[in-house]
A and B are shown apart, each in its own frame.
Chain A
Amino acid sequence: EDQVTQSPEALRLQEGESSSLNCSYTVSGLRGLFWYRQDPGKGPEFLFTLYSAGEEKEKERLKATLTKKESFLHITAPKPEDSATYLCAVPDKSDYKLSFGAGTTVTVRA
Chain B
Amino acid sequence: EPEVTQTPSHQVTQMGQEVILRCVPISNHLYFYWYRQILGQKVEFLVSFYNNEISEKSEIFDDQFSVERPDGSNFTLKIRSTKLEDSAMYFCASSVRQGSNQPQHFGDGTRLSIL
Contact = CB atoms under 8 A, between A and B. Distances in A.
A100 B43 contact: yes
Interface string A47-58: 001010000000
Interface residues of B, number: 29
A49 B101 CA distance: 6
Contacts, number: 63
A9 to B, nearest CB: 11
Interface in B71-115: 91, 93, 98-109, 111
- Please classify the interface of chain A as helix (H, G, I), strand (E, B), loop, or mixed, using the class held by over half of its residues: loop
A30 to B, nearest CB: 9
Contacts of A99: 45
A45 B106 CA distance: 7
A51 B101 contact: yes
Nearest to A29: B100
B28 interface: no
B100 A95 contact: yes
Contacts of A31: 100
Contacts of B43: 44, 87, 89, 98, 100
Interface string A61-94: 0000000000000000000000000010101001
B58 interface: yes
B55 interface: yes
